[in-house]
Chain A
C-alpha cells in the first residue's frame, strides 16, 4: 500500500462525494449535526427531566413545603382543594392510597431531604452543617456462581453499609435546618415507613450530593451515560450510510472497473475510499467530545469503533447486490454495533461489564473517573482488530470477479472467506484472525446475559460460546472446500481442521487480556472466556483446550469436505462436544 496512492484516491473520493450530495441532503445533514451539537451539551449540563410534573401536591403558597415542591420538577403545586396525589396541610400529610399516591409521597419525601441538603449547603459553616462526611463508593456487582460469599466480599459489603449509614447520618443533620424536613422524615402519614424511597437518582445525575438513609440512596442513574453513548454513536450511523452508498456505487454498472486496471493496489483503493469517511467520523466525534468535555482519550477510544462501523459497512456493501440490500446491511450493522457499544456503556457507573464498550471510556473521561490501561485495551483492541479483519476480507473480494457479479449474499460471503485460503495452514491463520469477532460476540453475549440469574445465564452462555467458537473455526474451512481451494479428501479435512483448531487455541490465549480489567471477577465472564480458570488443574490448562479445539475443528472439517448437509451435521456434533466440555469444566471446578 502506498500513501501517495491512498491520498490520491481519498482526495478524489472527497471531491466526487461532495459532488454527489445534493443541496437538500447537505442541508439536512448540517441541521442534524447542529441539533446534535445543541442538544447534547444542553442535556449534559441541564439534565433531562423525565416525568416532569407528574405528581400533584396540594399545598398553599405560604407552606414550608411550597419551596420543596418547587425544587423538584416531578412535583407540581396545586390548590389543596383541587384533585391532588398528596395534600399537605399545617399538621398533616395525606395521600391517595394508590400506587401513584404512594409514589408521590415518596417523591415528596425525597424532595424534602434534598431541599434540606440544599439549605444546609448554603450554611456558611459547612462543618456545623455536615459534621460527618462519608465518601460513598459504589462497588462492582459480582455474581458468585457457587452461591457462596467469600469473607472478603462480606467485609467489603459491611464497609459499604457503614458508609451508607454515615451518609445517612450526614443527611439527617438537616433536622436543625428545616423543620419541614424533620417532619417529613419522621412525622409522615401512616404507612410511610413501608414505602421505599425512590429519589436520589436524578440528583446523582445532576451532580448533587446524595444524603439520607441507606435505603434512600441509589446508584447514579445512568441517563448521562445514555446521552453520551447516543451522542457519540449517532454520527457513526450517518457516516456509514454515505460510505456504504459510495462503496456500492463502485459496483453498480461496473463503475469501479477502470480503477482496478490502474497501477494501484486494491488496498490503495479501499484505504483511499475509506479514509475520508474515517476522518469525517473522527472529526465529528472530536467535535462532540469537545462539546461534552470529553478528553482526547475518548476520541482515541471511539476511533476503533468508528473503524469497525466502516469496516462492517464496507464488507456488507461488497456483498450487497442493490441499494435495497445495502439498506438491510447498514441497518444490521448499525443495530448490532450500536447494541454492542451502547448496552454495556449504559452501566458505565455501576458495573464492570461496561468496560467492554469504548463508550465507557468516553463516559469515564467526561465524569472524571479514571480509565485504566486494561480497560482501554479491552474496549478498543477487539473492535479495532475486528475492523482490520473485516477490511481484509472485503478487500479480498474487491476484484472484478466478485465486485460485479450478482451472486446471493451467502455465496459472496463464502467467496470472501475462501479467497485467502491459498494454503492449508492459512485456515489456522484465518481462524486466529477471526478471534476479534469471537471476542466481540462473546463479550456481547456476556453483556446481554449478565443480568440473568446464574442458573440460566451460565448454561446459556456456555452454549452460546460453543456455537460462536465452532462456527468461527469451521465456516471458512467449509468455504474453502466449497470453492475448491482444498481438495475434498479426508486427509485434507483432518489437516485443515487441525490447523484451524491450533490457530484458535493460540489466538484464544490472547483473551487473557480480560484479566487486565477484572472481567473474570464476573463468573459469567469466566464461563465465557476461561472456564478453566474456575478451578481445573493447571496441567490441563494447555492440553485440554488444545485437544478440544483441534478435535472439534477436525470434526467440522470432515463434514465440510463432504457436503453442505454433512457440514451442518458435523458442526452440530462439534458444538455438542464443546458444550459438554465446557459443562464438564464448570462441574469439575465446582467440585
Chain B
C-alpha cells in the first residue's frame, strides 16, 4: 500500500530526514514516534506529497506521492487544525468534498456520519467559536470527506484534553477496524501502543527501530525474570516464606531450577518483567 525508499529531505545545510525506508501494508496502522525534530512531520508531509523529497521515493497505492490520483485516495491531518474561523463545519467540509469531486448527496452523508461519530453537534456555527478539541474534530472530519484508503495523521491528539484525546484515539481505532491504512505520528506512546500494529522510532532523521511492538521490545528492550523458589539458592533473597532470584536469561532460570532441585526444593513461580514502549523509546532515542 505504502512504500518509502531512501527518503531524504534537506533544508539548506540541515538534513531533516536521512534515508528513511519502510513499508506499510493495506489495513495496517503504522506509528511514527520520536523526539521533537526527529523528522516525523517531514516524513509524513513527503508521504502525502506536501513536501518534495530531496532524494528517495514514496508510492501510495502504486502512485507517486503528489500525483493527483494518489491525493484522491489520501486523507491528511496536519499537526495543527488550520480552519477558517468565519466558516461553519458544514460549509468548510462541503467545500473540501467539492474539491475531491464528491457529489453533494454523498458528501452530506459522509459529513454528517463523521461528525456524528466524532460527537460534534455544532455544525452550523462559525468554527472561530470552537474549542481546540472541536476544531480538531472538524479537521479529522475533513480528512475523511473523500473516504480515503490511506490516512496520514500528524499528532492527531496533540494538545487535547484527556476526554477528547480518548475520543480521537477511539476514533482512530475504529478507522483501523474499518480497514483504513493509517500512518500517524504521536508523542503519546500509550496512544501508539494501543492502536498501532507496527511502530518506527525516529532519531535525528533516521529510523532507529522498526517493527511490531514485540519485535522492538525484543530487540531494544530489556526482559528480566524473577524466579521464586521454596528453598534458598545462590544470590536469592527472602520474599516472605519464599526466596526470589532476579536473572536476565532463561539459561539463568534453568540454572536456578537445577540449584533448587539439588537443595531439595523447586521453582514455585517465575515472573517476567518487560520494558514498556516508553522504556524502549527512551533507550533507542537516547533521551
Instruction: List residues of B (95-118) whose CB comes within 8 Å of A's CBs.
Output: 95-96, 98-101
List chain A residues, Cβ under 8 A from B100: 262-263
| Cβ < 8 Å to A, chain B residues 72-123 | 72, 74, 76, 78, 80, 82-84, 86-87, 91, 95-96, 98-101
B83 neighbours in A (Cβ, 8 Å):
255
Q: A20-B86, A400-B50 given as contacts; is B78 within 8 A of A257 (CB)? A: yes
Q: How far is the CA of A261 from the CA of B71 in the complex (A)?
A: 6
**Residues of the A chain whose Cβ atoms lie less than 8 Å from the Cβ of B263:** none
Report which of B71, B82, B86 forms a contact with A19, defined as CB distance below 8 A: B86
Complex interface: chain B residues within 8 A of A20 (CB): 84, 86
Interface residues on B, range: 20 to 34
Chain B nearest CB, measured from A255 CB (Å): 4
Chain A residues contacting B82 (CB-CB under 8 Å) are 253-258
Question: Given the complex, which residues of A lie within 8 Å of B95, measured CB to CB?
Answer: 8, 12
**Contact in complex: A258, B78 (CB < 8 Å):** yes
With a cutoff of 8 Å between Cβ atoms, the chain A residues found around residue B142 in the complex are 258
Give complex CA distance A253, B96 in Å.
18
Nearest CB in chain B to that of A265: its residue: B68
Contact between chains at A261 and B48 (CB < 8 Å): yes
Query: From residue 8 to 58 of chain A, which have CB atoms closer than 8 A to chain B?
Result: 8-9, 12, 15-16, 19-20
Cβ of A401 under 8 Å from chain B: yes
Q: In the complex the two chains form, what is the Cα distance from A257 to B49 in whole Å?
A: 12
In contact, B84 and A257 (Cβ under 8 angstroms) = no
B71 and A253 contact, CB distance less than 8 A = no
Indicate whether B239 reaches chain A with its CB closer than 8 angstroms: no
Asked if residues A8 and B98 are in contact (CB atoms below 8 Å), the reply is yes
B contact residues around A5 at 8 Å (CB): 99
Identify which of A254, A256, A263 contacts B72 (C-beta below 8 A).
A263
- B118 CB → nearest A CB, Å: 17
Is the beta-carbon distance between A400 and B45 smaller than 8 angstroms?
Answer: yes
A259, CB-defined interface residue at 8 Å: yes
B76: chain A residues at CB < 8 Å are 258, 261
B51 at the interface (CB under 8 A from A): yes
Residues of chain B lying within 8 A (CB to CB) of residue A8: 95, 98-99
Asked if B99 and A264 make an inter-chain contact with CB atoms under 8 angstroms apart, the answer reads: yes
B84 proximity list for chain A (CB < 8 A): 16, 20, 249, 255
**Chain A residues within an 8 Å CB radius of B68:** 263
Chain A residues within an 8 Å CB radius of B50? 257, 260-261, 400
Bitwise, B49-71 to A at CB < 8 A (1) or not (0) is 11110000000000000001101
List, in ascending order, chain A residues with CB within 8 A of B11's CB. Answer: 401
Chain B: minimal CB distance from A563 (Å):
16
Whole-angstrom distance from the CB of A265 to the nearest CB of chain B? 8
B87 touches A16 (CB 8 A): yes
Kindly state the separation between the CA atoms of A401 and B83 in the bound complex, as whole angstroms: 19
- Verify A254–B74 contact, CB threshold 8 A: no
A290, B99: Cα distance in complex, Å: 37
The CA of A463 and the CA of B100, in the complex, are separated in Å by 54
Bound Cα distance A249, B78 (Å): 17
Given known A-B contacts A19-B87, A400-B50, A259 and B80 have beta carbons under 8 A apart: no
Whole-angstrom CA separation of A264 from B100 in the bound complex:
8
User: For the complex, what is the distance from the CA of A317 to the CA of B84, rounded to whole Å?
Assistant: 18
Q: Give the docked Cα–Cα distance between A264 and B98 (Å).
A: 11
* Cβ contact within 8 Å between B78 and A16: no
Q: Mark A327-348, 1 if CB is under 8 A from B, else 0.
A: 0000000000000000000000
Among B82, B86, B95, B99, find the residue whose CB has the most chain A CB atoms closer than 10 A.
Answer: B99
Q: In the complex, what residues of B have CB within 8 A of residue A12's CB?
A: 95, 98
Map CB proximity to A onto B117-147 as digits: 1 under 8 Å, 0 otherwise.
0000000001000000000000100100000
Among A5, A19, A249, chain B packs the most CB atoms within 10 A around the CB of A19
Q: Given contacts A15-B91, A16-B84, A257-B50, is CB(A262)–CB(B78) below 8 Å?
A: no
Expressed in whole angstroms, the minimum distance between the Cβ of B143 and any Cβ of chain A is 8
CB distance from A298 to the nearest CB of B (A): 36
Q: A406 → chain B, closest Cβ, in Å? A: 13
**Min CB distance, A319 to chain B, in Å?**
18
Interchain CB contact under 8 A, A253 and B98: no
Among A15, A254, A255, A262, the residue within 8 A (CB) of B71 is A262
Q: Which residues of B sit under 8 angstroms from A257, Cβ to Cβ?
A: 50, 78, 82
A254 to B101, CA, bound (A): 23
B188-233 contacts to A, CB under 8 A, are none
What residues of B have a CB within 8 angstroms of the CB of A16 in the complex? Answer: 84, 86-87
Report chain B residues within 8 Å CB of A264.
Answer: 99
Which A residues touch B51, using CB under 8 A?
400-401
A264 to B66, CA, bound (A): 10
CA distance A262 to B50 in the complex (A): 10
A408 to chain B, nearest CB (A): 14
Is there contact, CB below 8 Å, between A261 and B87?
no
Cα–Cα distance between A258 and B84 once the two chains are bound (Å):
11
Q: List B contacts of A261 (CB < 8 A).
A: 48-50, 71, 74, 76
CA distance A261 to B82 in the complex (A): 13
Which B residue's beta carbon lies closest to that of A5? B99
Which of A16, A249, A253, A261 has the largest count of B CB atoms less than 10 A from its CB?
Answer: A261
Give the complex CA separation of A257 and B75 in angstroms: 12
7 contacts between A and B (CB under 8 A): A12-B98, A15-B91, A16-B84, A16-B87, A264-B99, A399-B52, A400-B51
The 7 A-B pairs at the shortest CB distance, nearest first, are namely A255-B82, A263-B71, A19-B86, A262-B99, A261-B76, A263-B68, A254-B82
| Given A255-B84, A257-B82, 9 new contacts (CB under 8 A) | A8-B98, A8-B99, A256-B82, A258-B139, A261-B49, A261-B71, A261-B74, A261-B76, A262-B99
